[in-house]
Amino acid sequence: MSNLLKEINNLFISNVKAAWPKFRIGDVLKVELKIKEGEKERLQAFEGLLIADKGTGVARMLTLRKVSYTEGVERIFPLYSPCIEKIEVICRNKVRKAKLYYLRKLKGKLKLIERTEK
């Protein structure tokens, strides 16, 4: 049964937008979503630091964090959601951990992460 699920996941991923750029924990990403309001559709961008990457295959989830008006905002995106229009890497950062949940507690300049490239 698990082989069948793996085949279904691979088939789905190959048919969906699998051409996302390579990114890793600590990168600043810009995710553009399609938002439907009544009859209209628009794009909404969310730019934040990738603090977690969970799951594999179709169930892969990204957690982005940004600070907006001195308030931390986190958003979780399913990577293979049909609502995601575009993912762009803004800059790459150097981190040594797989999950950056400790950034939630830090204040001020301590939140800064060493940037490696743009």
Q: Is residue 115 part of a domain?
A: no
Higher per-residue confidence, 42 vs 9: 42
Identify whether 102 is part of a domain: yes
Residue 108 confidence (pLDDT): 67
Give the Cα separation of 39 and 16 in Å (integer). Answer: 25
pLDDT tens by residue, 16-27: 655 788 899 999
In a domain, 91, yes or no: yes
Does a structural domain hold residue 116? no
Residue-level pLDDT at 118: 59
What are the pLDDT digits (tens) for 60-113?
899 999 988 878 899 999 988 888 999 999 999 888 889 999 888 877 655 666
CATH code of 93's domain: 2.30.30.790
Q: Write out the residue range of the structural domain in which residue 58 sits.
A: 2-109
Alpha helix stretches (DSSP H) within the chain: 2-15
Count of domains observed in the chain: 1
* pLDDT tens string 37-46: 999 999 999 9
- Residue 114 lies inside a defined structural domain of this protein: no
CA 77 – CA 113 distance, rounded (Å): 22
Q: Is residue 86 part of a domain?
A: yes
Strands (E), 1-118: 28-37, 40-54, 61-68, 71-78, 84-93, 115-117
Domain-embedded: residue 118 = no
Reported as a pLDDT band with limits 50, 70 and 90, residue 51 is very high
